[in-house]
Structure 1
Amino acid sequence: MTLVTILSGAGISTDSGIPDYRGPDGVWVRDPEAEKMSTYDHYMNDPEVRRRAWQVRRTHILLNAVPNAAHRAVAELDRRSGVAVRVITQNVDGLHQAAGLPERKVIELHGNARSVTCTDCGARTPMTGAVARVEAGEADPRCLECGGVLKSSTVLFGEHLNDGVLAEAVAVTRASEVFIVVGTTLQVHPAAAFPGLAADNGARTIVVNDRPTPFDDRADQVIREPIGSSLPALLASLS
């Protein structure tokens, strides 16, 4: 059985209406102050940053976003006989799972924004419940178990990736026979090193992205077409 691994970044979800962060029209380009909401020290130490973050979550498209053709194509590939699929994603939107890919086959490097975690006791609850409390008037809702600060269940700047998650991603990358980079410019480590690791272990490597990446010169194939149409076509052609 052929193991196909897909490393996905923000570009795979833009067709679902979720903006990227570092692109020419990215969130942090248009509003540099927004990066503070994704930085652990700022978030934990500045109540105003937290209040702003909750207002953004209240109106963010992510909670209502649905998978697009690219996500669905990945899930369809997983259902094909003779192919094993794993996704390593830098995204926190949960759209690979929403498209039908089993949870156990998705490695979320940066966590998932559809839930919240208490920074004191670790209790994890749905984001929708916390947002409902904001809608009801709580500017900075606290953990109902211990009163601790709540944050999205994502890895903020200043936090370490989960060691177990990272180890699984490395193992899958090394075992891959086909490694496809989709919608990421490979600027953030450790994910940026995965394509090279896959190539070093004999994988066929493919980059699908609208902008150049540092790995392009080494990739076996580079596709500059829109992801929503080019990725489904690519995956359909895999044998």
Structure 2
Amino acid sequence: MIASDLSTGVEQLGEMIAAARSIVPFTGAGISTECGIPDFRSPGGLWTRNRPIPFDEFVASREARDESWRRRFAMEPTFAAAKPGRGHRALASLYRSGKIPAVITQNIDNLHQASGFAAEHVVELHGNTTYARCIGCGQAYDLAWVKQRFEQDGGAPDCTMCEEPVKTATISFGQAMPEVAMQRASELAQRCDLFLAIGSSLVVWPAAGFPMMARNNGARLVIINNEPTDQDDMADLVIRHDIGETLGPFVGN
């Protein structure tokens, strides 16, 4: 059912939240755009200006690794300046109240943690861009260390432990999805009684399967997104309005 207007949608959402025992939010790029972080797939998004660098190309080509890190450093002021928006803060309020056990996110911006979620309760399907990891041994590195080495050596650094390449702790095209995160997301989707798909185009699989999984296990499904999605027809409530305006009334509740 598509909400006829914003106020009706917010009222219906509020009733569902009040009745729910366990709410699982699933968030995509749309929740972070009001925080100044551009999305990737929309017209004018990052991938319309820069071709994504697949994982196998990153591994095989030093030039690709250098370019990948140049892009990340160019985005650093944007990520560093971003603060949690109304959507993040609303979900954090519900988390503190005990309604939300954890959040599943496709985002890499660390804003759920900044809003008040404990790191262990943020299930990151696509990783996190605020630090780096060795693709070989998994050693973690601060971005400041990577940038210092990049500027000092004139290119992307390798791991000091095993000499394999270091990349942002994100999941690139062609890279395996994180098994532990996918398993946790599956368990959360199957155990909740209200699933909120927020700001996701629901086109990236297998992550896009979680709303259906929740619905098939008896949960009510709400989709909050400016644009239509392929899963709107199966949702109990669809709110096609600004995410910040939709979730703003739930901040602090």
Mapped pair 1:28 → 2:44: no
Paired letter, 1:176: C
2:63 to 25, 30, 48: 48
Instruction: Report the secondary structure of 1:75's partner residue.
Output: helix
1:11–1:182 contact (8 Å) kept in structure 2? yes
Equivalent residue, structure 2, for 1:57: 72
Q: CA RMSD in A?
A: 1.9
2:146–2:156 contact (8 Å) kept in structure 1? no
| Separation in structure 2 between the aligned mates of residue 236 and residue 115 of structure 1, nearest angstrom | 29
| Separation in structure 1 between the aligned mates of residue 25 and residue 153 of structure 2, nearest angstrom | 41
Aligned residues with identical type, % of pairs:
37
Equivalent residue, structure 2, for 1:104: 120
| Separation in structure 1 between the aligned mates of residue 93 and residue 200 of structure 2, nearest angstrom | 21
Give the paired residue count.
Answer: 232
2:92 to 66, 70, 75: 75
1:209–1:225 contact (8 Å) kept in structure 2? yes
Deviations 1:42-70, CA, capped at 9 Å, x for gaps: 11112211111111111212244221121
Instruction: Report the secondary structure of 1:2's partner residue.
Output: coil
| Separation in structure 2 between the aligned mates of residue 6 and residue 132 of structure 1, nearest angstrom | 37
Instruction: Report the secondary structure of 1:188's partner residue.
Output: coil
Instruction: Report the secondary structure of 1:5's partner residue.
Output: strand
Deviations 1:215-234, CA, capped at 9 Å, x for gaps: 1011111111111111233x
Q: TM-score, normalised by structure 1?
A: 0.90
Equivalent residue, structure 1, for 2:165: 149
Instruction: Report the secondary structure of 1:88's partner residue.
Output: strand
Mapped pair 1:120 → 2:159: no
| Separation in structure 1 between the aligned mates of residue 123 and residue 31 of structure 2, nearest angstrom | 15
Q: 1:18 to 1:237 in 2, by over 3 A?
A: closer
Paired letter, 1:161: M
Equivalent residue, structure 2, for 1:205: 221
Structure 2: gaps of 5 or more residues: 1-19
Paired letter, 1:20: D
Structure 1: gaps of 5 or more residues: none
| Separation in structure 2 between the aligned mates of residue 19 and residue 84 of structure 1, nearest angstrom | 26
